[in-house]
Chains A and B, each alone.
Chain A
Amino acid sequence: MMKLMKSALAGTTVLAGLSFSLAASAADLTIALSNPVNTFDPHMTASVGSDLSVLSHIYPSLILRGPDLALQGNLATEWTLVDDTTWHFTLREGATFANGEALDAEAVKWNLDRVRDPELQARVASWFSLVSEVNVISPTELEVKTSSPYPAFADQLSMFLLLPPQWTEENNPVTATMAGGPYQVRNIVPGESVILEPNPEYFGDPAEFDTVTFQVIPETGGRIAALLAGDVDLVTGIPVTEVDRINQSGNATAGAVDSTRNVMIKFNTTVPPLDNVTVRQALNYAIDKEGIAQALFNGLAQPAQCQVLSSNYFGFNPDLEPYPYDPERAIQLLAESGADLSQPIVFDVPAGVYLQGTEVAQVVASQLTDIGLNIQITELEFSVYMNKYLQSRELAPLSLLAQAWPTIDADGLLTLFAPGNNYAYWDDADFGAALDEGRSSTDPAVREAAYKTATEVMCEQAPAIFLYTQPATYAYSNDVTWTPRGDDWVRAFDMHPAE
């Protein structure tokens, strides 16, 4: 009988697309994902846009990043920095997982120990490499000591989800789940959808939706069509040209906000001709950043201010000015540089990863051709690109890259350019020294000054062409309300049924 019910339900879902919309009843929510969920173990993934967003419904965290991008408590009601290297957390009383396991300081300690266990090789282990000691003071009080100041620790915790200790010992969290967050799993179709229902045991505000479905729709056109048909309530990552069309349809609201992801043309400064700083500066003069932001993104993208940080980051340097668009000056600088520019310069472009990435790459290549360079675009799969970037260490002289750091703090994003960092392909001692200074203190003023120096060095030395901040485009149906946000979180508990 149960089986019969299920197939009848499935039938209704199929029909819903044709006749009426399931999403039309406000208590059901459907969110479109472009990528399937790869793992259900929250310590084995760092991709906020898919895995962590889905899992944040199932597992609680100490701290959440709210719709306003500010931190708010979840399991932790209060957190304070006792001294430079000691954090103190106060937890909610009486919180439990759905199976009755206590969600207390012991459980948090167990989770922090789990990710730091070298044997587990947790994907997120590096976030906690500075954590040296976790002490349980009482079931609702926890103390964490770090080996050196770690000002971004609280921000990082907003991406750290908590597993139930005992249950995890007996089950495989990669495939099974045990709720402790606002929702629990009803049904999973691998690669297709994850359906959630409220978790009655949740310690926080009760869930507002009867079901939450994460539906994987890889193709952009498909996501938009599903939204306009009323099958889906929230889609992200739509082309900017669709924004007006969706708004005009009257069924949904679309728009864009600044994301935390900053797009650049990454230089491999270890190979000629990009080991020459004059060439790197010339390339920055050659690109019309403003024009790209205006023409390709209808003005919805924010041109970069000669740094990889966008204005929403802590440590953003408002005093820097972008390199002006000046092809004449670029040609002149190239001539002065004395670099050998006769060889074609390979420009790697990961396919289908960044919003309108191929278009940007073609415009950039065409503007670089204008100053007399021989640019050869190679499109490759993102995994192939990442392999070249990090494993085989054969990054092309130029490549299209967008980087973000979820703590929205200069410390994380700039470290990707630090001397010796795997991601850097750039070695600048002054820059490294400035970063070290920023990390040595938890005083915001000291840190800000250090990152000001770091960004100035970076602008001057130009290890990349600083392009623009990628707009976070979105569209949501009239059945729900949602606060658009620039980081990648898509969460049902940030949404409400419309009146």
Chain B
Amino acid sequence: MGDFFASLVKSRSGLFGFVLLTLLVLVAIFAPLLGLASPIRGDLLARLSPPTWTGPFNPGPHPLGTDEVGRDVLSRIVHGSRLTLMIAATAVVLGGVVGTLLGIAAGFYGGIVDRVLMRLVDIQLALPLMLLALLVVAALGPSFNNLIIVLALTSWIRYARIIRGQVLSLREREFVQSAHAIGASTVRIMLRHILPNVLTPALVVATLELARIIIMDAALSFLGLGVQPPSPSWGRMLADGRVYISTAWWIVTFPGLTILLTVLSVNLLGDWLRDYFDPKLRTSR
């Protein structure tokens, strides 16, 4: 663990991503304690007020302005982080678990299992992700759970593809062969010997996926299929504020910036994680 942090501190970009992401998660967790205006109730008369910032320690009532029904943009970004991060994290975990398990199964068993699973992946890759999402949400109706299901559904294939490739080479390695020889069951081999060895690539895919899913949530909210109003989510804010971009730039700019920073920090962290776990780059440790 000490080695982990020592390496993190050495990598500036990794540290940047780590600090920013930690900050974000903390803000999300403690959002209700920050004493911000309500993200749901707006003041109609203060509709579309521009950002007020009268001094470094003296932010006005709406430091980032108000939106089209008079709600505080800052508060909506902060409270929106809870929903956005929760959706993204759940979808990543769900997609990751399913994708990894199916990837291991495909790689380990080979044959018909491999062919069926990989054709399934091919079929889904051929379908535009947005279309798939639209179909599922249209069929199941827009709800918080369905949104997560859709996002996970678009995500598992990436894990499955990468993990399968890893497993193909792993299963020929000596330690797997010897486990076979002493009579370990297939399930035991997969879970005890293969799984720990594919966790690293899965983790790296997960960081990339997290970024993609935040953006995807924004895209779905654009189509009115994401988080339902008046609940705040970053994607929702972008979708609702875009009409006002020429008269009230702050409604879309600040959530947009937040998404940008989040995705950037996750990607930087993911980059560093990949380097950290790459044996070829580990000589310095």
Q: Mark B31-55, 1 if CB is under 8 A from A, else 0.
A: 0000000001110110110000000
Q: Mark A360-379, 1 if CB is under 8 A from B, else 0.
A: 01110110000000001111
Q: Are B142 and A363 in contact, CB atoms less than 8 angstroms apart?
A: no
Q: Are B41 and A295 in contact, CB atoms less than 8 angstroms apart?
A: no
Q: Are B247 and A221 in contact, CB atoms less than 8 angstroms apart?
A: no
The yes or no answer to B224 lying at the interface (CB within 8 A) is yes
The yes or no answer to A351 lying at the interface (CB within 8 A) is yes
Could you count the A-B residue pairs with CB atoms below 8 Å apart for me: how many are there? 68
Which residues of chain A in 125-177 are interfacial with respect to chain B, using CB atoms and an 8 Å cutoff?
A: none
Least CB distance from B210 to A in Å reads: 25
In the complex, which of the residues B44, B69, B229, B248 contacts A241, with contact meaning CB atoms closer than 8 Å? Answer: B248
Residues of A within 8 A of B69 (CB): 296, 359, 362-363, 366
The yes or no answer to B240 lying at the interface (CB within 8 A) is yes
Residues of A within 8 A of B47 (CB): 295-296
Q: What is the chain A residue whose CB lies nearest that of B244?
A: A241
Chain A interface mostly:
helix
Q: Are B229 and A362 in contact, CB atoms less than 8 angstroms apart?
A: yes
In the complex, which of the residues A245, A366, A380 contacts B41, with contact meaning CB atoms closer than 8 Å? Answer: A366
Quick one: given A377-B228, A381-B224, are A366 and B142 in contact (CB under 8 Å)? no
Quick one: given A295-B47, A351-B224, A379-B142, are A245 and B246 in contact (CB under 8 Å)? yes
Least CB distance from A386 to B in Å reads: 14
Q: What is the chain B residue whose CB lies nearest that of A379?
A: B224
| Number of chain B residues close to chain A: CB under 8 A | 26
In the complex, which of the residues B70, B230, B243 contacts A377, with contact meaning CB atoms closer than 8 Å? Answer: B230
Q: Are A381 and B242 in contact, CB atoms less than 8 angstroms apart?
A: no
In the complex, A279→B57 CA distance in Å?
A: 48
The yes or no answer to B245 lying at the interface (CB within 8 A) is yes
In the complex, which of the residues B48, B142, B228, B246 contacts A221, with contact meaning CB atoms closer than 8 Å? Answer: B246
Residues of B within 8 A of A245 (CB): 246-247
Least CB distance from A187 to B in Å reads: 30
Q: Are A221 and B243 in contact, CB atoms less than 8 angstroms apart?
A: yes
The yes or no answer to A358 lying at the interface (CB within 8 A) is yes
The yes or no answer to B138 lying at the interface (CB within 8 A) is yes
Q: What is the chain B residue whose CB lies nearest that of A239?
A: B243
In the complex, A352→B242 CA distance in Å?
A: 12
Q: Are B44 and A384 in contact, CB atoms less than 8 angstroms apart?
A: no
Quick one: given A352-B224, A359-B68, are A220 and B42 in contact (CB under 8 Å)? no
Q: Are A379 and B229 in contact, CB atoms less than 8 angstroms apart?
A: yes
Q: What is the chain B residue whose CB lies nearest that of A363?
A: B69
The yes or no answer to A272 lying at the interface (CB within 8 A) is no
Q: Mark B63-93, 1 if CB is under 8 A from A, else 0.
A: 0000011100000000000000000000000
In the complex, A233→B242 CA distance in Å?
A: 23
A residues at B contact (CB < 8 Å) = 220-221, 224, 239, 241-242, 245, 288, 291-292, 295-296, 349, 351-352, 356, 358-359, 361-363, 365-366, 376-381, 384
Q: Could you list 29 examples of A-B contacts with CB < 8 Å?
A: A220-B243, A221-B243, A221-B245, A221-B246, A239-B243, A241-B244, A242-B246, A242-B247, A245-B246, A291-B44, A296-B44, A296-B68, A349-B229, A351-B224, A352-B224, A356-B68, A358-B229, A359-B69, A359-B240, A361-B229, A363-B42, A363-B69, A365-B230, A366-B40, A377-B228, A378-B141, A379-B142, A381-B138, A381-B224
Besides A356-B68, A376-B228, 13 other A-B contacts (C-beta < 8 A): A221-B243, A221-B246, A239-B243, A241-B244, A245-B246, A295-B45, A295-B70, A351-B223, A352-B224, A359-B68, A359-B69, A363-B42, A366-B69
